[in-house]
């Protein structure tokens, strides 16, 4: 979900700086210390093929790496990107590498590959011997310096906290040659950037110069005849790449100079697949240019619909028609299940695209000065918000009915022999009747088999409850799927919407699935937990699933009420980083421990902790174990946290996701016990993932283990260990 948001933030940045954005199928699977782990999880050959595809399709003259191959970029993903860039620089030019791509593109050799050096985070990859370029130049046509443009672009990355002040004045960037031709004065040394690189391009260059010299900025329409004639020359160019690229650019330039504007809209924000969408095309010419509307086509129906109509000056012309919603608007990289490191892309030609290239689109055909000019426009839903004005959003094309299961995981145990209620939230996008069921699953009892519904209207929402019971012989973990049927059409998709003001709305349709996990789990005590919220996690809901009564504690309750009724108090992840009031609340929390309570503090990072979370000193540091398969050594196998009420063993660390833990602690006071030890390959053993001490009559626990990832994923051993940390004997 964060990846979907950041995709749109990247596109928002590109709209500021004018660059083009491409993607491979690689998934940001979490922090990786080195490229070896990254390239193994990513599937190195597949990602390399994607990079080669983009190079062959985009045909860059110069390639630049942001990070070096030697690790100064800090993140294994960063280093891996540089390694792949070096391989792809050569592989893209080799017809023997990925020959299946050559049905669509040709081999391409960029002239050089460079590293854009940097000096931050204690790493300096720049030297005065490198090519040095002043990027703090002022552009008088734009009225901005490139440092100002860069700041506007970067500030679109809101979820990463990348807002930055505008930089004005001289600023240098450094470049070191990695592969290819030497560079002396400029990144484009030796690269022909004129039209003479294209056969027959000299005449086109002459025409461009004439148009530039005669351009009248108060009457741009005067340049239209010459631009149309120039388009005729460009369309005759034999080089397919430049012909297609420059025809598109020149068509938009002709429209701009002739005062022509055209857009297409759907009448509703959401349609079910198979429905007719009501489309409205609007167009206007602002100058006295001779422009006629010839007709339109869509990517769903490429045949042109003729509609010859001379456009009146400065008056909006509208054309309406219907178009089938022929494909669910799921992001193409989420259409199929995928492993942890890479998305599954069914159509390889879509690789590189940040959005679905086959999203609903209309092509306008205009006759301008005797030549057909085609303009492509995405079909959007447009409406007016009283506070924000005119808003454009992508059109949603949905299944006829969606089914969202309330929880991602349902936990069962022999001690909690009661069944679980699996609630399915349904939404209809058509008028009709049908039913919903959970697919039968060996080892589980589901009641009822099916729940019917009738007379639903478009937009109706309702819920259906199923009772699921674990049978004695059921497997430990199973995936169950909801199947919704309406008017004879079935769907096993949910719907999820992500909506922020700074990016277009995002809609995706995740599988209507949940995990059923049966755990050998023992819980003790009255199971009343006080929870102090941190930066945000799902742990309270996960604890409720296994029978705990979880209450979110307010500052008033911590400061002014008797906390002794809680079996344990837990702080959410990064609570001591984000909650300023814990400085004030901490004495009351430690008094609770001193009087016999059990306090469990989940991980905090090493920045901005205003008070020591424990009764004795320790310090979170930027040390982690990112290998989720790393062996765990029990230093104190008889410690209560490893034996009560569940006997923890090596198998309890099987199936962990993404990592073991992060921001382990160091400088640990001798009064703390360290029951566990672990490390990533090639690193020294680390005992900072879990520390425990008695304090007064109570117990204090601090853990950097990534429970906030494991519990929502339904990892059995993580539940067993977490329960132990809650359960003071």
Q: Maximum distance among all alpha carbons in the chain?
A: 92
pLDDT (tens digit per residue) in 145-161 = 999 999 999 999 999 89
pLDDT (tens digit per residue) in 168-205 = 999 999 999 999 999 999 999 999 999 999 998 999 99
d(Cα 575, Cα 539) in Å, to the nearest integer? 13
Residues whose CB is less than 8 angstroms from the CB of residue 673 and which lie 6 or more positions away in sequence, other chains included = 636, 639, 691, 692, 693
Contact 262, 377 (CB under 8 A): yes
Contact 403, 426 (CB under 8 A): yes
> What Rg value do the Cα atoms of the chain yield, rounded?
31
E strand segments, 244-400: 260-266, 270-272, 276-285, 291-298, 305-310, 317-324, 361-368, 371-385, 389-394, 396-398
**Residue 497: which of 570, 398, 400 has the closest Cα?**
398
Structure tokens of 119?
């000096």
Contact 618, 666 (CB under 8 A): yes
Contact 400, 429 (CB under 8 A): yes
d(Cα 354, Cα 333) in Å, to the nearest integer? 10
Cα 650 to Cα 207, 678, 691, distances in angstroms: 75, 12, 19
d(Cα 254, Cα 366) in Å, to the nearest integer? 11
d(Cα 637, Cα 58) in Å, to the nearest integer? 58
**Residue 115: which of 79, 149, 159 has the closest Cα?**
79
The residue assigned the tokens 């409720």 is: 544
Length in residues, the chain: 729
Which phi and psi (to 5°) does residue 210 adopt?
-65, -40
Omega before residue 448 within 30° of 0, cis: yes
The residue assigned the tokens 């599937």 is: 43
Contact 566, 589 (CB under 8 A): no
Own/partner long-range contacts of 642-647 (Cβ < 8 Å, ≥24 apart): 642/675, 642/721, 642/724, 643/724, 644/524, 644/724, 644/727, 644/729, 645/522, 645/523, 645/524, 645/723, 645/724, 645/727, 646/520, 646/521, 646/522, 646/720, 646/721, 646/723, 646/724
d(Cα 168, Cα 355) in Å, to the nearest integer? 33
Residues whose CB is less than 8 angstroms from the CB of residue 615 and which lie 6 or more positions away in sequence, other chains included = 590, 593, 594, 671, 693, 695, 700
Which phi and psi (to 5°) does residue 11 adopt?
-65, -35
- The end-to-end CA distance of the chain, in Å, is 40
Structure tokens of 705?
């283990």
pLDDT at position 292 is 94
Which phi and psi (to 5°) does residue 435 adopt?
-160, 165
At residue 232, the 3 state secondary structure works out as helix
Q: To which H or E segment does residue 178 belong?
A: strand 172-180
Q: Which residues of the chain have pLDDT under 50?
A: none
pTM: 0.91
DSSP 8-state symbol, 596: T
Contact 496, 507 (CB under 8 A): yes
């Amino acid at each position: 979900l964060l990846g979907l948001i950041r995709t749109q933030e990247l596109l928002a940045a590109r709209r500021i700086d004018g660059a083009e954005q491409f993607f491979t199928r690689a998934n940001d699977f979490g922090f990786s210390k080195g490229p070896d782990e990254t390239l193994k999880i990513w599937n190195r050959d597949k990602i390399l093929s994607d990079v080669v595809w983009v190079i062959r399709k985009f045909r860059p003259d110069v390639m630049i790496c942001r990070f070096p191959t030697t690790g100064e970029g800090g993140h294994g993903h960063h280093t891996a990107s540089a390694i792949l860039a070096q391989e792809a620089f050569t592989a893209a030019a080799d017809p023997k590498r990925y020959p299946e791509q050559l049905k669509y593109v040709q081999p391409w050799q960029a002239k050089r590959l460079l590293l854009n050096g940097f000096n931050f985070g204690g790493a300096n990859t720049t030297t005065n011997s490198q090519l040095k370029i002043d990027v703090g130049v002022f552009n008088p046509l734009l009225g901005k310096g490139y440092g100002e443009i860069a700041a506007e672009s970067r500030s679109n990355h809101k979820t990463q906290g990348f807002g930055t002040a505008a930089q004005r004045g001289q600023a240098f960037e450094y470049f070191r040659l990695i592969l290819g031709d030497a560079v002396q004065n400029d990144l484009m040394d030796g690269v022909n950037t004129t039209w003479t690189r294209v056969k027959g391009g000299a005449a086109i260059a002459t025409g461009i110069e004439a148009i530039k010299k005669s351009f009248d900025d108060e009457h741009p329409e005067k340049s239209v005849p010459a631009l149309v004639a120039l388009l005729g020359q460009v369309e005759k160019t034999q080089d397919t790449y430049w012909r297609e690229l420059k025809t598109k650019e020149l068509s938009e330039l002709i429209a701009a100079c002739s005062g022509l504007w055209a857009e297409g809209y759907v009448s509703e924000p959401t349609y079910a697949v198979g429905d007719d969408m009501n489309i409205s095309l609007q167009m206007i010419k602002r100058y006295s240019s001779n422009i006629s509307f010839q007709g339109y086509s869509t990517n769903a129906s490429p045949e042109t619909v003729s509609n010859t109509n001379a456009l009146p000056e400065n008056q909006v012309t509208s054309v309406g028609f219907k178009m089938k919603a022929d494909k669910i608007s799921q992001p193409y990289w989420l259409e199929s299940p995928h492993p942890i490191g890479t998305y599954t892309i069914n159509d390889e030609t879509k690789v590189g695209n940040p959005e679905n290239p086959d999203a609903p689109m209309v092509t306008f055909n205009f006759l301008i000065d005797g030549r057909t000019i085609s303009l492509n426009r995405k079909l959007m839903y447009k409406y007016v918000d009283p506070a924000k004005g005119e808003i454009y959003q992508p059109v949603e094309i949905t299944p006829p009915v969606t089914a969202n299961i309330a929880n991602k995981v349902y936990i069962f145990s022999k001690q909690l022999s009661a069944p679980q209620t699996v609630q399915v939230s349904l939404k209809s996008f058509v008028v009709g009747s049908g039913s919903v069921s959970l697919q039968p699953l060996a080892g589980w009892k589901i009641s009822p088999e099916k729940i019917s519904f009738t007379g639903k209207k478009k937009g109706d929402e309702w819920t259906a409850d199923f009772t699921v019971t674990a049978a004695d012989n059921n497997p430990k973990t199973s995936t169950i799927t909801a199947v919704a049927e309406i008017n004879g059409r079935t769907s096993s998709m949910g719907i999820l919407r992500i909506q922020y003001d700074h990016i277009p709305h995002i809609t995706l349709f995740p599988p209507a699935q949940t995990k059923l996990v049966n755990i050998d789990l023992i819980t003790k005590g009255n199971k009343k937990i006080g929870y102090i919220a941190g930066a945000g996690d799902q742990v309270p809901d996960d604890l409720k699933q296994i029978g705990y009564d979880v209450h979110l504690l307010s500052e008033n309750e911590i400061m002014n009420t008797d906390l002794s009724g809680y079996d344990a108090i837990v702080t959410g992840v990064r609570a001591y980083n984000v909650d300023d009031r814990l400085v004030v609340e901490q004495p009351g929390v430690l008094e609770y421990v001193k009087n016999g309570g059990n306090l469990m503090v989940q991980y905090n990072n090493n920045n901005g902790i205003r008070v020591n979370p424990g009764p004795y000193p320790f310090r979170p540091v930027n040390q982690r174990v990112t290998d989720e398969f790393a062996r765990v050594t029990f230093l104190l196998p008889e410690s209560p946290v490893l034996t009560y009420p569940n006997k923890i063993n090596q198998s309890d660390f099987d199936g962990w996701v993404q990592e073991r833990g992060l921001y382990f602690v160091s400088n640990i006071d001798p009064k703390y016990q360290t029951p566990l030890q672990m490390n990533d390959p090639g690193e020294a053993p680390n005992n900072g993932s879990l520390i425990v001490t008695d304090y007064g009559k109570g117990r204090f626990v601090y853990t950097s283990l990534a429970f906030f990832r494991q519990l929502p994923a339904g990892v059995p051993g993580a539940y067993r260990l977490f329960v132990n940390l809650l359960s003071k004997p």
